[in-house]
Amino acid sequence: MPTFVYMTRCDGCGECVDICPSDIMHIDKKLRRAYNIEPSMCWECYSCVKACPHQAIDVRGYADFAPLGHSVRVLRDEEKGTIAWSIKFRNGKKDMELLAPITTKPWGSATPKLADVPAPSKEMRDSQLLFNEPKYIRMDEGGLHTLESNGLEIKKGVQY
């Protein structure tokens, strides 16, 4: 669902322009307010939604889940680590609320501290294994984890 800007809420601070990884958030030359110049190129990362200090950026829900005229509002809260959605149909019949985690650990705490790790030896450099393999893929627990090794099997057909 690509993003769009409510011009009446935007104050033209440029935070979304700075953060957009697709470089499609820009400032309207006449109105000095942000807008999404190419919604079809939107990655739907919602960085702009998160960065906007005035919640002036919303997402346009696809027509297959909410008919035109609806309201899909999103609130990403970094400190709580959640994303909350509020979906309201144009006839007011459906007013749905959703809440989901976007992180389970404090931001940055799971980043490998490579500076604290000893430099790899020549033997490690020449090895086929990548950094922290086999520990990270848990091969040290007895080979790769597969469906079979975990007593599972793929069922044929579409599973719901």
- Gap between the Cα atoms of 76 and 101, Å rounded: 10
Residue 17: helix, strand or coil by DSSP? Answer: helix
Q: Which of 21, 31, 32, 43 is catalytic?
A: 43
Backbone torsion region of residue 151, taken as left when φ is above 0, otherwise alpha when ψ lies between -120 and 50, otherwise beta: left
Least Cβ distance, residue 142 to other proteins (angstroms): 27
- DSSP letter at 82? E
Which of 20/42 has CB closer to other proteins?
Answer: 20
- Gap between the Cα atoms of 149 and 132, Å rounded: 22
Which of 8/146 has CB closer to other proteins?
Answer: 8
Least Cβ distance, residue 35 to other proteins (angstroms): 12
Q: Kindly provide the residue ranges of all beta strands, DSSP E only, lying in the chain, ordered along the sequence.
A: 3-5, 25-27, 34-36, 57-59, 71-77, 82-88, 95-101
Verify whether residue 85 is a known catalytic residue: no
126: part of which helix (H) or strand (E)? Answer: helix 122-126
Which of 80/135 has CB closer to other proteins?
Answer: 80
What is the residue type of 62? Answer: Y
Q: Can you give the binding site for other proteins, defined by CB under 8 A?
A: 8-9, 11-15, 17-19, 26-27, 29-32, 47, 50-51, 53-55, 71, 73-75, 77-82, 84-86, 88, 97-101, 103-108
Least Cβ distance, residue 32 to other proteins (angstroms): 5
Which of 62/131 has CB closer to other proteins?
Answer: 62
- Gap between the Cα atoms of 103 and 90, Å rounded: 32
Least Cβ distance, residue 145 to other proteins (angstroms): 20
Catalytically annotated residues? 43
